[in-house]
Structure 1
Amino acid sequence: MDKKVLIADQINEKGIDELKDVAEIVSNFTISKEELVKEIADYDAIIVRSRTKVTREVIEAADKLKIIARAGVGVDNVDVQAATERGIMVINAPESTSITVAEHTMGLILSLSRKISIADSSVKDGKWEKSRFMGIELNGKTLGVIGMGRIGSQVVTRSKAFGMETVVYDPYITEKSASELGVTVVDLETLLKESDVMTIHVPLTPETKHLISKPQFEIMKENAIIINCARGGIINEEDLYEALSNNRIRGAGLDVYEVEPPENSPLFTLDNVVLTPHIAASTSEAQRDAAIIVANEIKKVFQGRSPKNVLNMPVLDPETFSMVKPYFGLIEKIGKFMIQTAKGNIKEIDVTYCGDLSELRKHDILTRMILQEVLNPILTEPVNLVNATSVAEKRGIIVTEGKRCDAKGYKNLIKVEMKSDFNDVSIEGIMADEPKIIMINGYQVDVETEGTMLISKYKDKPGVIGAIGTKIGKHNINIAKMQVGRKELGGEAVMVLKVDQQVPLNVIEELKQLEDVNDAVAVNL
């Protein structure tokens, strides 16, 4: 066989069996970093789990490598950027753990509602404390799901068997999807007030960090149960301890923690919390399925077909890849800019290619990359270049593409327009020596796409720029560069400040309160 696959971490045998008819298989479950760097040049694909680190050094030594496969969900041990630069696909098995995590979530819910964990300990201690362990039924209770991705949807399906009603908080779920699942979409405050049981299934982002803290616990029902099998840090653990120790809520189930493993946590002293060691995705079936999924993905590539779970790019012929590669940096920055400036649900994204780019046969690859950058920060399941358009469609986002010849004197130009619930954003960018943004909402600027930018819309009159500068100066935020654009004297203008520090949300709010400042937003690129 002319293909060779290295299995660097132990995976289920069924995954290995799937590959035997298409490649020579070499298993080395103890291979060291140094050995991997020396030997990787012989392989067309590598399968890892968590132990093996596929670093830039390993990737740069991989002369033949086409695929890096992670038999699981996360790819923290793979340098995806380095793989992308070398044209190596990174694949994983996101769907392998959906049922497993959903079942673990239900297990924590049942344990807390019926006090199973502490009742077990009591009996093993030789006690018979029946009156101590009065539980509650799930039938007729309201389940609140924060984040309706793949796992959240599976939890909803299982909760229906217990006779539960479901409310969900997810700014990106469509009415059609909600109707099909039989759930009611509400805002977060309503969910917290109405739910008897809450479960979290969102990624950890600056927006979701400590999403559940003291103010949220204070409006929950006294008998409320909260579960987190998503990411540590979404629940403020100090505030959770206070709520549990004061019986402000009934109980909590955690599989993830702000620091892992947690050490000397006050939560250890409570009997109304159930703690598990980040094992929600750990079942033999999930590991079997992960191995089979990545093996089948590798087979597809070897057979000239398109894999489904590519994290960085689809299969591209060398000519197309060489044409689109120079624009990856610009597209990444535009996508990050868009998601950080969106207010509310994203409704439409329109991408227009100008100049030489309008002749590109597969410019939709770049559109998918924009969607990937926009959607990944707000979804738990990975969005890649293969599934980006279908995920956008599922979320009710209308995506359109266009071509035009007028590139405003530049060789190439990309214009992206986004409509969301409460604002419209338009960005035009070029790829010169470095990615640059040359237009924001119709205002001409010249902005390098690195670091933190503070964008303010204001009335073009004396003193406003000074007021903005004074305000951020009081917060010890240093200005590195300033760009100002306006359409007419005395009208609305836009100012882009490149600053040396991230701009806290409270500073943004203070800027918005300034006289003649219409809006302000910080973007971290």
Structure 2
Amino acid sequence: MPKVLVSDKLSMAAVQIFKDNGVEVDYLPDLGKDKEKLLEVIGQYDGLAIRSATKMTEKVIAAATRLKVIGRAGIGVDNVDIPAATKKGIIVMNTPFGNSITTAEHAIAMMMALARQLPEADASTRAGKWEKNRFMGVEVTNKTLGLIGAGNIGSIVADRAQGLKMKVVAFDPFLTPDRALEIGVEKVTLDELLARADFITLHTPLIDATRNIIDAAALAKTKKGVRIINCARGGLIDEAALYEALKSGQVAGAALDVFLEEPATANPLFEMPNVICTPHLGASTGEAQENVALQVAEQISAYLNAGEISNALNFPSISAEEAPRLTPFIKLAEMLGSFAGQMTETAIKGIKIEFEGDVASMNTRPMVASAVYGVMRPMMPDVNMVSAPQIAKDRGIGVEVVTREQQGAYENYIRLTVVTERQERAVAGTVFASGKPRIIQVKNINMEAELTPSMLYVTNEDKPGHIGRLGTLLGTLGINIANFNLGRAEQGADAIALVSIDGQLTEAQLAEIASLEGVKQAKALRF
């Protein structure tokens, strides 16, 4: 009988789920806070169910000699050393969708409180004042809500807002026209959203592309008197710029559940009377905590009893027998997806994955999941190989899989095509006998390149002198070339260079490369 430790406070209903599934369970909800005691006992367990108090460090994971699975009741896994767990063969799971309704409802509640100045009016009334004329609010009916991020939580917010008779416009690079129609929102550019929205609410992860997405420049483009809600991540809003916009009246008010630095015990925004602040309460309801607890218990039980993997952050769903053959192809599929995802800048309508040769007869499901994960990861760092196909489906992104016998020179061949509103972009690869994935075709141009951690992608006109100019510039910039791979459609037509480099390019360096004579596009890629 497998044995599970619950080292944080979870619902007793979750404990009962373990028992009902024939799993022995020790419920020790305060153990996670005692690092030494946890180190002492962790070797006795096959599974671990936690929240945020238990810190699964490399040292603790090293002591977990029997541990097969860690289940986090919630989304964030900052308290788990995932690389260490992966190295030890421990599956790390989370419950990414259990908090969605609760977080969406908190955003709506913050919007309503902001519209009617409820916290300040409450404080004034409790102080014995009766300032009825001071607190003049606004209706949300017939107002425009600007949604930055239309994923799982954002789409729920859109649904609730439409119930309040609001017009909803959305900016999201992954939102397809069909999905926008399905959830009843108008897809717009960020600038259009800023110009039209009466209320703006953010529901996007914090990545390089979204960091300070609401900055001074963005705030200057908004309607005067806009109201802003953030229940997603601190860092999406430039807090200093928001402070100035609140002072000037460009922004009429803000409701913030998240902050750049948390716990937020001191922040200039706290001084502003037109700001509502809550201490990261988005997931704080009894229902949400119950949901994630039950989900994590079901997931851990299914894995320990049947090998079923759900919402794994560090491993696709494959059997032990398949792993040796599939692993290099899973890596290739992820790299092809990542390549295409990093090159894609408009909304994705579909992903087509073609398997040819021996690989077509293998279990392609983990490879498909890995490819979709690779495509989506540049814009959604919280996505994983298991959740990626469902997220793609939820966002209206079609995934087509084609398998066929060998037709070309390669015994195994995977081709991935990303379909956007404007174009199709394809990239293909294979795995050689060495087990190393290789790119063999980009945009129908044949070439061969090993994908390395840091690369430069350049498209250019096929004219004499380009390679020399590019190499010279990279040398001048202090960028060491590890490998230089070339391909072209035909003489004098488009050509591609894939350059493996040591270190990473800065935006300024990339701009210099892009300005070279004959260069049509220059992009830094990371794998």
Is the TM-score greater than 0.5? yes
Give distance in 2, aligned partners of 1:497 and 1:464: 14
Quick check: 1:313–1:386 contact (8 Å CA) kept in 2?
A: no
Alignment of 1:16-35 (within 5 A): 16-21=15-20, 22-28=22-28, 29-31=30-32, 32-35=34-37
| Cross-structure match for 1:189 | 191
Residue 115 (1) aligns with residue 114 (2): no
Stretch deviating more after TM superposition (318-327 or 389-398): 389-398
Quick check: 1:143–1:166 contact (8 Å CA) kept in 2?
A: yes
Give distance in 1, aligned partners of 2:270 and 2:453: 41
Tell me the secondary structure at the aligned position of residue 202 of structure 1: coil
Quick check: 2:427–2:439 contact (8 Å CA) kept in 1?
A: no
CA RMSD of aligned residues (A): 2.8
| Cross-structure match for 2:403 | 402
Stretch deviating more after TM superposition (40-49 or 96-105): 40-49
Tell me the secondary structure at the aligned position of residue 487 of structure 2: strand
- TM (norm. structure 1) is 0.90
- Taking a change above 3 Å as real, the CA distance of residues 110 and 457 of structure 1, as seen in their structure-2 partners, is same
Tell me the secondary structure at the aligned position of residue 319 of structure 1: coil
How far apart are residue 506 of structure 1 and its match?
A: 5.4
- Taking a change above 3 Å as real, the CA distance of residues 389 and 139 of structure 1, as seen in their structure-2 partners, is closer
| Cross-structure match for 1:416 | 416
Alignment of 1:102-501 (within 5 A): 102-262=104-264, 264-304=266-306, 306=308, 308-313=310-315, 315-360=317-362, 362-379=363-380, 382-385=383-386, 388=389, 391-392=392-393, 394-405=395-406, 408=409, 412-423=412-423, 424-430=425-431, 432=434, 434-469=436-471, 477-501=479-503
Give distance in 2, aligned partners of 1:139 and 1:393: 28
Tell me the secondary structure at the aligned position of residue 94 of structure 1: coil
Give distance in 2, aligned partners of 1:419 and 1:315: 26
Quick check: 1:314–1:386 contact (8 Å CA) kept in 2?
A: no
Kindly provide the amino acid, as one letter, of the partner of residue 297 in structure 1: Q
Give distance in 2, aligned partners of 1:447 and 1:380: 26
- Taking a change above 3 Å as real, the CA distance of residues 235 and 469 of structure 1, as seen in their structure-2 partners, is farther
How far apart are residue 385 of structure 1 and its match?
A: 2.3
Structure 1, residues 38-96: CA drift from partner, whole Å, max 9, x if none?
53343221101112223445445544433211011112222334444555432222222
Stretch deviating more after TM superposition (26-35 or 109-118): 26-35
- Taking a change above 3 Å as real, the CA distance of residues 333 and 77 of structure 1, as seen in their structure-2 partners, is farther
Quick check: 2:376–2:388 contact (8 Å CA) kept in 1?
A: no
Quick check: 2:314–2:384 contact (8 Å CA) kept in 1?
A: no
Q: Percent identity?
A: 36
The number of residues matched between the two structures is 522
Stretch deviating more after TM superposition (56-65 or 416-425): 56-65
- Taking a change above 3 Å as real, the CA distance of residues 488 and 177 of structure 1, as seen in their structure-2 partners, is closer
- Taking a change above 3 Å as real, the CA distance of residues 86 and 332 of structure 1, as seen in their structure-2 partners, is farther
How far apart are residue 341 of structure 1 and its match?
A: 0.7
How far apart are residue 140 of structure 1 and its match?
A: 1.5
- TM (norm. structure 2) is 0.90
Give distance in 1, aligned partners of 2:197 and 2:215: 16
- Taking a change above 3 Å as real, the CA distance of residues 469 and 237 of structure 1, as seen in their structure-2 partners, is farther
Kindly provide the amino acid, as one letter, of the partner of residue 210 in structure 1: N
How far apart are residue 37 of structure 1 and its match?
A: 4.5
Quick check: 2:336–2:427 contact (8 Å CA) kept in 1?
A: no
Quick check: 2:462–2:495 contact (8 Å CA) kept in 1?
A: yes
Quick check: 1:312–1:385 contact (8 Å CA) kept in 2?
A: no
Structure 2: which 5+ residue stretches go unaligned? none
Give distance in 2, aligned partners of 1:314 and 1:452: 24
How far apart are residue 200 of structure 1 and its match?
A: 0.5
Alignment of 1:36-51 (within 5 A): 36-51=38-53
